[in-house]
């Protein structure tokens, strides 16, 4: 069984440019419901053209934006079902969740965080500093592995 693939116009989704950009901005796509984990509130998703565009429009209102992709030759593909863990400077876990799509937008207190994202058994780690009144974007990229259990949700470029 092959993974489900949805074709997305990458220049619209990733860069927010192109002829379809203004048309998408005028559509009424909303974000999925906000979730709360302790002091962290977040929203995850971005599957489908309209929802991905809604995430791109809303990203600047959140201190932290995370995006998940895998390399597929010359292309990047969005992925979902990424296990996510954020730990503060003291090592306390402030978020433990599974991304419902290729985007996670989070509101959390200012500080340094260790971010760990796991996709199909492969873990990636990054450190991010969240600042007051600033937006930070973190992208996690995995190598492409053509496995049926992979949930590919569209093109990221």
CATH of domain 10-155: 2.60.40.10
Is pLDDT at 24 greater than 90 in this prediction?
no
Is pLDDT at 18 greater than 50 in this prediction?
no
Per-residue pLDDT reduced to its tens digit, 83-110: 999 999 999 999 999 999 999 999 999 9
Residue range 5-14: mean pLDDT, rounded: 31
- The tokens for 36 are 């709360």
- Cα-based distances in Å from 31 to 90, 120, 142: 32, 26, 25
> What are 41's strand-pairing partners?
36, 107
The per-residue DSSP string of 86-114 comes to EE-TTS-EEEEEE-SSSEEEEE--SEEEE
Q: Where are the domains of the chain?
A: 10-155
Is pLDDT at 6 greater than 90 in this prediction?
no
Residue range 138-154: mean pLDDT, rounded: 70
């Amino acid at each position: 069984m092959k993974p489900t693939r949805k074709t997305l116009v990458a220049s619209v989704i990733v860069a927010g440019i192109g002829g379809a950009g203004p048309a998408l901005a005028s559509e009424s796509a909303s974000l999925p419901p906000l979730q709360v984990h302790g002091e962290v509130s977040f929203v995850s998703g971005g599957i489908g053209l309209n929802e991905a565009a809604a995430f791109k429009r809303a990203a600047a209102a959140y201190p932290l934006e995370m995006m998940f992709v895998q390399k597929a030759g010359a292309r990047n593909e969005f992925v979902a079902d990424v296990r996510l863990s954020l730990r503060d400077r003291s090592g306390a876990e402030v978020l433990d969740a599974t991304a419902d799509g290729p985007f996670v937008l989070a509101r959390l207190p200012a500080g340094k965080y260790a971010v760990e994202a796991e996709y199909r058994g492969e873990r990636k780690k990054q450190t991010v500093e969240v600042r007051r009144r600033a937006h930070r974007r973190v992208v996690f990229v995995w190598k492409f592995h053509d496995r049926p259990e992979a949930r590919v949700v569209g093109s990221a470029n």
